[in-house]
Amino acid sequence: MSLKNLSVRNKIPKKYKDKLSNQRINKIYRKFENSFKINNNFIVAVSGGADSLALAFLTKLFAFKNNLNPKYFIVDHKLRKESTDEAFKVKKILKSLNINSHILRVRSKKPQNSIQSFARKKRYDLLFSKCNKLRINNLVLGHHMDDLFENFFLRMIRGSGLKGLVSLGEKTQVKNINLLRPLIQFDKKDLLFISKFVFNFYVDDPSNYEIKFNRIKIRNFIGQLKSIGLDKKKFQLTIENLKRSDKTIRFYVEKNKKINSLMNQRKNKLILKEDFFDNSYEVVFRSLSDLILFMGKKQNPVRGKKIDNIIDKIENKRLFKETLGGCVIKMVNHTIILTKEH
């Protein structure tokens, strides 16, 4: 054995070596290690569910082997009276495996509607704040294969296009923070096994069974599809094929923006040539959406219907002056000019 390999083995605590001696755990970790390509520090979001505890174990083992120092944060949404006690219990469970964690608390009042959307926004707000404060731009999340399928159907019923349908990828970027999902190709059963074998514990959130939430309705629907022959591997192949198509569209979007837009730095205005709109609708839609986001300096892109409306006015020569997403959009002859709204 080389000195390097011996050194790596000595870094790993006995508790982890004992867990790795289990054949199934070892196999899952090797798959994780092959997919988790990162060489600098990161933050891990821990909810206490089986998937996030499995993620905590896998990332900590990876950190021992690669001499990294990840940070672990538990978000207490305070949406249930048990949540604070659960957060402390998760913190204690993690500590038993040499994982130091910190609890982040949501201070806002519980809303009457859109509870899951509220929880998601507050969770990301707290985690993004920590990323910025610690100057760490990698946030690791516990989304797995089932989440990928659920997101696909949720986006479908919302009328999303191709980009939305495949939006839950292994890596996306929001506010200059990399959202990493190394478990996206992992089956929920494997993550449950890790949580039970390694921690003998996980939080079973009762909201996972409340049919009033669309995500739970979709989860049940997928269960029904499985009973009549839904093949996860084939469905995953379908999503991968769609991702390839999305990648092709993104190539032409970037090409369109580069060739058919011109930035006047002195006057701080962006000029779109007539040829900018001589592309497929999806390419025009995404190109314009990207440039409005760029010029308007907003955090989130403009809603699709508003972009549709602007494109319709441009195509029918009915655009004079519109304000959208922090931008002023004007038509001068056959040219579209974007400037930042003051």
pLDDT of residue 128: 93
Taking alpha carbons only, the member of 216, 229, 241 closest to residue 153 is 216
Name the DSSP class of 276.
G
pLDDT of 298 above 90: no
Superfamily of 3-230 according to CATH: HUPs (3.40.50.620)
Average pLDDT in the chain: 88
Three-state DSSP at 199 gives helix
pLDDT of 62 above 90: yes
pTM of this structure: 0.81
Average pLDDT rounded to a whole number, residues 295-313: 88
Distances in Å between the alpha carbon of 261 and those of 82, 274, 290, 312? 54, 9, 12, 19
Q: Which amino acid is located at 40 in the chain?
A: N
The ranges assigned to domains in the chain are: 3-230, 239-340
Q: Convert the pLDDT of each residue in 84-99 to its tens digit.
A: 899 999 999 999 999 9
Q: Convert the pLDDT of each residue in 219-252 to its tens digit.
A: 888 888 878 877 888 888 888 899 999 999 999 9
Name the DSSP class of 179.
E
pLDDT of 143 above 50: yes
Residues 21 and 12: beta-carbon distance below 8 Å = no
DSSP string, 13-79: -HHHHHHHTSHHHHHHHHHHHHH----S--EEEE-SSHHHHHHHHHHHHHHHHHT---EEEEEE---
**Torsion-angle region of 257 (φ positive above 0: left; ψ -120 to 50: alpha; else: beta):** alpha
Average pLDDT rounded to a whole number, residues 184-194: 93
Token digits of residue 132: 């910025």
* Residues of the chain above pLDDT 90, percent: 54
Q: Convert the pLDDT of each residue in 102-119 to its tens digit.
A: 999 988 777 667 777 788
Rounded CA separation 32/186 (Å): 9
